[in-house]
Amino acid sequence: MVAGCVFCSIVAGETPADIVLDEPDLVGFLDARPLFPGHVLLVPRQHVVTLPDLPADLREPFLEAAQRLARAMVDGLGAQGSFVANNNVVSQSVPHLHLHVVPRTKGDGLRGFFWPRTTYGDGQAPEYAARLREALATRR
């Protein structure tokens, strides 16, 4: 854990977040400022700054969890697909590796790399987190 890292703080349970995936090496939680409701950030529990820094033993679990989250966007939220991306250093708002998994629907308005952020309404984030957890649990 790195002091001052908000994602390390979420992983440690010190900063509240709507947890979607909680595994020994990885945590997935709703982005507080999502592109669309259900936007998840997947992070390794271990503080790793960028994808090139990810230890070899975490590559397979990280990608496998990303696949499950992408499926959960469809199964749990009714999305038609997903957008999966990460930044390394440039445009990386938190220096802790995080993969964005975003639900997508044709005509949703997301174009290129202009990513307008939104917020959740009252009680909406826990509902989305629960739907994704349920979809992940049924696809194990």
Query: Which of 20-24, 34-38, 136-140 comes out lowest in average pLDDT?
Result: 136-140
Tell whether 66 is covered by a domain.
yes
Tell whether 14 is covered by a domain.
yes
Q: Environment class of residue 74 by beta-carbon count within 10 Å: exposed (0-12), middle (13-18) or buried (19+)?
A: middle
Tell whether 82 is covered by a domain.
yes
Tell whether 1 is covered by a domain.
no
Tell whether 10 is covered by a domain.
yes
Q: How many separate domains does the chain show?
A: 1
Tell whether 74 is covered by a domain.
yes
Does the pLDDT of residue 116 top 90, yes or no?
no
* Whole-number pLDDT of residue 63: 97
Domain span at 19:
6-108+117-138
Q: Environment class of residue 93 by beta-carbon count within 10 Å: exposed (0-12), middle (13-18) or buried (19+)?
A: exposed
Q: What is the pTM of this model?
A: 0.85
Q: pLDDT, tens digit, for every residue of 27-65?
A: 999 999 999 999 999 999 999 999 999 999 999 999 999
Let me know the angle formed at the C-alpha of 66 by 65 and 68, rounded to the nearest 5 degrees: 65
Does the pLDDT of residue 128 top 80, yes or no?
yes
Tell whether 85 is covered by a domain.
yes
Q: pLDDT, tens digit, for every residue of 68-103?
A: 999 999 999 999 999 999 988 887 788 899 999 999
> The domain that contains 124 carries what CATH number?
3.30.428.10
